[in-house]
Each structure stands twice: as structure tokens, then as C-alpha cells.
């Protein structure tokens, strides 16, 4: 699973990081009796199974693109406030997360505008269905897409085969206690977390299918119509991850706002790290699946330059072959 500690997050803000993905792969069906296992610490032999840099050439620095979000007037501050300020979040993470701003109109008229980029943050704004073809092609060739809330229709237009038609809905203003479904995420933020939705008509992450992984879900108040502020109880998903072609999509019902709790910000930071390491994770998974190993657990590892050390402990509960795979993101 992806590990994330408070100390690690503090180090990220300073920038200058080495980021890696560690995946533990176990093949339980080829078990070895525990009596035959060594009782003392042994030297771990390391063998390079696949060198991404040699096969693909030295990868260029990760390129990120962010679309502008919309603004709404906030009476308490007397200012127009952004709906989904992912640019601010990326700037807080340090120099390694510099990004370009790209206009949705440019993507729609010239899809090749996305060709230089590895990750696209499609921040919350209305509309976007016209981007469907460009987004689908971007992800298919290996791009990673983040989208939130009102961009549901844009993602649904790009991936109609992933849409959960019965689950499509909008919610009333409310606090939702979401169950953390994904085991990796549960280790980071616990078994549940509270999501704050201060406006109506926010979009449920209604995607389903064999390639869709739900990460957060729970009970919420669904709007019966656009004017309904009371709602009716329903079950829904608030964060999903799915693959298409060589790429990955993450859709979330909530987004980066001024009133986000510390836990919500931690979750959003974790999603950013998942996005920038998606290609490395795919490379590790593909390499090990070819050898018949099944990923059991993965961690995001990071260390600042002044203290480049990370220690992780893994307990192998069942005797049998064990493999550790380490992938670096340039």
C-alpha cells in the first residue's frame, strides 16, 4: 500500500525529493514450510528485472498540466474563491511539482496540446463534455487524469463504458462520513473520514466495472431535484480509480478548498503522489505479473536531500517466495 507519514509530508514541502514506489509481491501458492526458512537475518540479494531507463531512455522530467477552476463569491470573506485550487496544492509540494496552465478550449480544439504532458488535473468547473475524445486518447496512451466534482460529466463522456448509470446523482450540502474501502488508503487515513460538502449539486463518483476501484464510499443525502436541499438517504462512492489503455484516472467528489480539513488535505496530497507515480506503479505491476507474482502491498517512499533515508518493515505472514520491487520516478 502507499505509505504516508506526517514527517514525510513535512519533508515534501521543502522540495528536492527522491520519490520511489516500493511494491511487495508474494506468491502464496508456492509455499515453503516455515521449518525450512532461515532463523536469522540474511543478506538480501538484489537482481535487476527490468530497467525502465535503459529501455525507454532517460525519462524526461514529469510534466504536469492544470486547467483553471471556476470561482464563486464567498459572503464571509467578500471575495471570489476558487472551487478547486489544485495549483495552490501543487505549489505547496515544492519545485518538483511545477505545472503549466492549459485551457479546456485549447484541449477541445487541438487535442495534441496534451501530448507533452504526463498528468492532467482537470479541476472542478462546469461542462467539459466536449473534451471526452481528447481525454480518452490522453489516458489511453499512458497519461494520468485527475478530475473532480462538476467534471464528472466530462469524464463520463470520455469513458461511457465506466459509467454507473444507476449511481449517477448529486448531493445536498452536508458532512459525509465516508468508509475507506481501499486497504492502502486505510493505512494512511484510517477506516473512515469526514468529507465536507458546503454546496449543493456536488457529483457522486458514479463509475463501475472490472477496472474500477472504489476508494471511498458511504451514505449521503441525495438531491431529488436541483432545488431539493433536504435530500433522501442513498449509498454512493466519493473517490474512484480506474485504468484505460496504458493510463489511469482518479475521480473525486470533493476537491481542494479553503475549508478542507487537515485529513482531507493529506488525502489530496496522497492522490497527487499516486498520480505522479502511476506510470512507475504500472511498470512494476506488469513486470511482476509476467513472473506470476501478485502485488500484496505498496508504499510511496520519499526523502529530502539532507536526510535521504527511508525505513519500512514488512511482515510476511505466510511462508513462501517473496519479491520486493523498487521503481523510481525521475
With respect to residue 301, please indicate whether it lies within any of the assigned structural domains: no
pLDDT digit string, tens, across residues 160-198: 999 999 999 999 999 999 999 987 788 888 999 999 898
With respect to residue 43, please indicate whether it lies within any of the assigned structural domains: no
CATH at residue 172: 3.40.50.880
d(CA 149, CA 1): 26
d(CA 176, CA 179): 9
pLDDT of residue 180: 93
If you ran DSSP here, which 8-state letter would residue 163 be given?
A: B
Q: How many domains does the chain have?
A: 1
d(CA 262, CA 190): 13
In sequence order, the β-bridge partners of residue 148 are 252
- Residue 250: phi and psi, rounded to 5, are -120, 125
What pTM does this model have?
0.75
Q: Residue 88 to residues 123, 182, 183: CA-CA distances in angstroms?
A: 12, 27, 28
Q: Per-residue pLDDT averaged across 45-51, rounded?
A: 60
pLDDT digit string, tens, across residues 5-40: 333 333 333 333 445 566 555 544 334 444 444 444
With respect to residue 315, please indicate whether it lies within any of the assigned structural domains: no
Q: Is the pLDDT at 220 greater than 60, yes or no?
A: yes
With respect to residue 36, please indicate whether it lies within any of the assigned structural domains: no
With respect to residue 24, please indicate whether it lies within any of the assigned structural domains: no
Per DSSP, the three-state class of 324 is strand
With respect to residue 53, please indicate whether it lies within any of the assigned structural domains: no
With respect to residue 188, please indicate whether it lies within any of the assigned structural domains: yes
With respect to residue 121, please indicate whether it lies within any of the assigned structural domains: yes
> Please, are residues 296 and 285 in contact by the beta-carbon 8 Å criterion?
no
Domain containing 205: what range?
65-279
pLDDT digit string, tens, across residues 111-169: 999 999 999 999 998 889 999 999 999 999 989 999 999 999 999 999 999 999 999 99
Rg (CA), the chain: 21
Of the candidates 304, 243, 306, the residue with the CA atom closest to the CA atom of residue 275: 243
Amino acid at each position: 500500500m502507499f505509505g504516508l507519514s506526517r514527517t514525510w509530508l513535512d519533508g515534501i514541502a521543502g522540495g528536492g525529493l527522491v520519490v520511489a514506489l516500493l511494491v511487495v509481491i508474494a506468491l502464496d501458492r508456492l509455499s515453503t514450510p516455515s521449518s525450512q526458512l532461515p532463523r536469522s537475518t540474511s543478506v538480501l540479494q538484489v537482481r535487476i528485472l527490468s530497467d525502465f531507463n535503459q529501455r525507454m531512455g532517460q525519462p524526461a522530467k514529469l510534466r504536469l498540466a492544470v486547467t483553471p477552476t471556476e470561482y464563486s463569491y464567498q459572503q464571509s470573506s467578500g471575495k471570489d474563491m476558487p472551487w478547486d485550487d489544485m495549483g495552490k496544492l501543487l505549489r505547496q509540494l515544492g519545485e518538483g511539482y511545477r505545472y503549466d496552465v492549459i485551457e479546456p478550449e485549447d484541449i477541445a480544439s487541438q487535442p495534441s496540446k496534451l501530448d507533452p504532458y504526463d498528468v492532467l488535473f482537470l479541476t472542478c468547473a462546469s461542462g467539459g463534455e466536449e473534451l471526452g475524445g481528447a481525454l480518452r486518447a490522453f489516458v489511453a496512451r499512458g497519461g494520468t487524469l485527475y478530475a473532480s466534482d462538476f467534471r464528472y460529466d466530462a469524464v463520463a463522456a470520455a469513458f461511457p463504458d465506466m459509467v454507473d448509470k444507476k449511481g449517477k446523482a448529486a448531493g445536498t450540502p452536508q458532512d459525509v462520513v465516508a468508509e475507506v474501502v481501499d486497504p492502502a488508503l486505510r493505512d494512511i487515513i484510517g477506516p473512515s473520514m469526514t468529507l465536507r460538502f458546503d454546496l449543493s449539486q456536488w457529483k457522486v463518483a458514479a463509475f463501475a466495472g472490472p477496472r474500477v476501484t472504489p476508494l471511498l464510499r458511504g451514505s449521503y443525502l441525495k438531491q431529488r431535484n436541483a432545488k431539493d436541499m433536504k435530500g433522501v438517504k442513498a449509498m454512493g462512492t466519493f473517490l474512484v480509480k480506474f485504468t484505460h489503455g496504458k493510463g489511469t484516472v482518479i475521480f473525486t467528489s470533493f476537491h481542494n478548498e479553503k475549508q478542507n480539513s487537515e485529513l482531507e488535505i493529506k488525502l489530496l496530497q496522497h492522490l497527487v503522489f499516486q498520480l505522479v507515480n502511476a506510470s512507475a506503479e504500472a511498470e512494476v505491476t506488469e513486470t511482476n505479473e509476467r513472473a506470476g507474482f501478485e502485488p500484496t502491498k505498496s508504499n510511496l517512499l520519499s526523502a529530502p536531500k539532507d536526510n535521504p533515508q527511508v525505513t519500512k518493515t514488512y511482515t510476511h505472514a505466510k511462508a513462501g517466495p517473496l519479491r520486493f520491487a523498487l521503481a523510481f520516478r525521475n
